[in-house]
Chain A
Amino acid sequence: MHPNAERGWWWALPAAPLLAYFALFLVYPTVYAVNVALTDPLTGAFPSLGNARTLWRDGLFWRAVAGNVVVPVASVAVEVVAGLALALFLSTRLPARRLLRATVIVPFALPEIVVLSIMRAIFASRGYANAALLAAGVEPVEWLVPGTVTAYLTVIAVDAWHVTPVVFLMLLAARAAIPDEIDEAARLDGAGWWRRAALITVPLLRPALGAAVLLRGVDAMRVFATPLVLTGVEGVPVMSSYAWHQWSDYGDDGAAAAAACVLALACTALAVPLLRRRVAA
């Protein structure tokens, strides 16, 4: 008898500890956060839009909302382009290809805060990047001045540097699944490398590209440490660092909870297509 044909609710027993943990440490705190977010910080009245009003009037909150759109979108775009280029390049016949593939993954192997610590030293005004520019006879750049376009670009580049290997690995796996015969046939028909890549490989990689955008998109929405460590809370504000700032610098748990709820709602909404895809697969 196939186990799926068994009747009864016995299966709930092994599933129970995990679900109970989610209920206690995910659902309950979320309900608590919604409750705090909707309680007036002064009068204790519930439900109240007091905290929402605080956010609405705070210019930094709106910059955090904008940052939480700009940074993830740009970062994922860079990751997908770079990851695709790497996957195509490292699928061609190269000397020491295995070693190269392993090297390309190194950035992802580093803990995020380790990456950010050294990136700060690299992009500081008296840092390694400017030393290299100086040596090349180019005027130094102020990379991380809060609120500047350069600061946003640096944050995006550093974030993409760290996670591009993930996209690369996903696309490399998908590339390896494409039968060599297809490429070989096109080559015999006289198509060059660029033509084969653009007209055959990339279209065949489309499902993997979609999956990568979806997965990375949801993760990128939670961006926290990169803008915080490189530029401080107000340099390149995003929702996570804004909520942290409200909690730890102002002790305003109402505003912190409200901002956290807004972000959680956005992430959950983005996750719906991810869930659909899993169910379909």
Chain B
Amino acid sequence: MTRRLGLAVPILALLAVALVPPLLVLKQAFTPEQESVAWPPTWWPREPTVENFAALGASVELADGAWRSLRVALLTVVSTLLLALPAAWVAARRADAGRILDGATVFARVFPSIAVAVPLAALFVRIGLYNEPGGIGLWLAHTLLALPVAFLVLRSGFAQVPSDLEEAARLDGATGLEVFWYVSLPLVRPALGAAAMLVFLVSWDELATALLLQVTNRTLPPLLYYLTAFGYPGLASAVAAIMLVPAVLIVILLEPALRSGVLSGSGR
């Protein structure tokens, strides 16, 4: 009996610490703005409302920001996978290529994003990509931030596919490209899916570069930053709730892959 009680206390504490903050995001999203700033704050909305979401839908800036975030994230998925796929394959198949690519990727992974964003902002000012309405400049920067993640996931995916299969296909007369397309690629489809989702998240969650490169044509993270900094808890939580949905879905889907630690440095 005391053992049960001894377990119940830490378990409940754990649940509270992990879940109260995200639940408060949802609570604030459905709470009228006046109630959110009142003292003492309520733990449950007295009059639940969807007015915050309605205000988001009515705001041109927020609707634009949501589309920009989505577009940049999807473009980043495409460009990152195209760049990382061949490199990851050759790194898994050739030791010499693997060494060089590993070194370059670790370097890119540890490099602080602010140290890339500051000079990129200066360079983009010159060529007209700074604060570009379509988010092209941000897309190029996010591709850089996401490449190490995609490379690591895909590389370990290719490493698990036995190269015998590729050699067998080659002996049967397939060209290198045919082997890659018909044999290797289908076998790493799970890794490809995982990499795509992780890359999406890197871009979707990214704040630092977005703050620097999209000063007025913002994506959702900088919009949420300013809503928070200027004191709109209800609106901020509504944006936060929208941002939260794909992020939580992806992390739940990828929980097994997370255990290998590959996600630990996804640009955060």
Contacts and interface: CB of A to CB of B under 8 A. Distances in A.
Given A11-B90, A222-B114, A244 B224 contact: no
Interface string A214-240: 011011011011000100000000011
A103 B18 CA distance: 7
A89 B10 contact: yes
Contact of B39 (A95, A126, A211, A279): A126
How many chain B residues sit at the interface, stated as a range, is: 35 or more
Contact of B25 (A102, A117, A172): A117
B263 A111 contact: no
A279 B99 contact: yes
B138 to A, nearest CB: 12
Nearest to A222: B112
Given A163-B268, A279-B99, A108 B259 contact: no
A229 B268 contact: no
- Interface secondary structure of B, over-half rule: helix
Interface residues of A, number: 91
Given A18-B87, A114-B240, A161-B17, A215 B118 contact: no
A2 B15 CA distance: 52
B192 to A, nearest CB: 16
B255 A100 contact: no
A26 B141 CA distance: 9
Contact of B90 (A14, A212, A243): A14
Nearest to A17: B83
Interface stretch (A41-49, A194-202, A262-270): A262-270
B201 to A, nearest CB: 8
Interface in B211-268: 211-212, 215, 221, 224-225, 227-229, 233, 236-237, 240, 243-244, 247-248, 250-252, 255, 258-261, 263-265, 268
Contact of A32 (B97, B122, B211): B122
A271 B109 CA distance: 9
Contacts of B95: 4
B133 interface: no
A44 B85 CA distance: 43
A256 B122 CA distance: 11
B86 A14 contact: yes
Contacts of A14: 86-87, 89-90, 97
A100 B110 contact: no
Interface in A88-122: 89, 94-95, 100, 102-122
Contacts of B144: 21-22, 25-26
Interface in A233-259: 239-240, 243-244, 247-248, 253, 256-257
Given A29-B123, A110-B22, A244-B212, A216 B118 contact: no
| 7 closest cross-chain pairs (CB), A and B | A14-B86, A109-B251, A18-B87, A29-B119, A271-B110, A111-B205, A33-B119
Given A25-B140, A117-B25, 15 more contacts: A12-B97, A15-B86, A21-B144, A30-B116, A32-B122, A118-B24, A118-B25, A126-B37, A128-B24, A172-B259, A222-B114, A247-B212, A257-B122, A267-B112, A278-B106
